[in-house]
Amino acid sequence: MHSVEQSPLGKSTEYVSQYTPGLLYPIPRALKWTELGVDGANLPFHGVDVWTCYELSWLLPSGKPVVAIAEFAIPAASPNIVESKSFKLYLNSLNQSVFASITELQAALEQDLSRVAGAPVTVVLWSLDEWAGRGIQRPAGRCIDELDVPIAGYAHPQRELLSVGEARDSQRLYSHLLKSNCPVTGQPDWGTLVVDYQEGLALEPESLLRYVVAFRQHADFHEQCVERIYLDLWRLLKPEKLTVFARYVRRGGLDINPYRSSEAVQPVGERYVRQ
């Protein structure tokens, strides 16, 4: 069992510029699932963690460098998450490494990450022009950030902060005010949260804003924050369908975007203003 304390997080590490798959460090999801009351063999959601790397580079056989942007899709049901600093160190190890083609690099990335995650990981490599063509989108739905809501708590995101009416409805709400902290280093993680449910008890938007802001001093990884939000809403709203996802601001050239849904569908590849 790999522990967070044994990971590279918060430690001085040597920069490695030659391809080194052994730098990747897995962290089991099972401990957090147990804390959240989730059976790992019967997950109450589908989903994927979409990572974006903005600092990917390698060498051609001629010695000429190449740069690209990579998207990695790690299944939410995989036994492990990949610790983010180890991911960064691993990607940096490609900088002075030769790959004959993009296909060869993609195959190596998928093989290494699948081994560590314990499930098939898919990788898509984008040229900078291709990535620029995707543009920046605004989340669909209603932004709750301008609601005039008094806030008193910042460290304990509890389901009791959420409130519902007796009627049932469908809503798509979002907030740019999601912030949590790395559980090891205490460094802040900033994100945009989207909640989309159908035929559930009517969620009061003001209560969702209080709940989101209550993550502000909470310590958890990105994936665990989104799963906590999904489970609290699923248990409270009792909806026909629910999707919760967050797009986090990049740190160290990587952003992490967990997506959890009651439906087995893949997320739309949107980029918001801070991605």
- Closest C-alpha to 183, from 254, 81, 38: 81
Distance of CA 143 to the CA centre of its chain: 20
- Residues 214/150, Cβ–Cβ less than 8 Å: no
Residue of 49, 112, 189, 220 marked catalytic? 189
d(CA 234, CA 214): 18
Report helix, strand or coil for 25.
coil
Q: In the chain, where do the E strands start and end?
A: 26-28, 46-59, 65-75, 80-82, 122-126, 142-143, 164-181, 188-203, 241-248, 254-261
**Alpha helical stretches, state H, 27-94:** 30-35, 84-92
Active site residue 53: no
Of residues 49, 53, 182, 225, which has the active-site annotation? 182
- What is the DSSP track for 179-209? EEE-TTT--EEEEEEEEEEEEEEEE-HHHHH
8 A C-beta contact, residue 121 and residue 74 = yes
Are residues 211 and 140 in contact, defined by beta-carbon separation less than 8 angstroms?
no
Q: Let me know if 189 is a catalytic residue.
A: yes
| Catalytically annotated residues | 182, 189
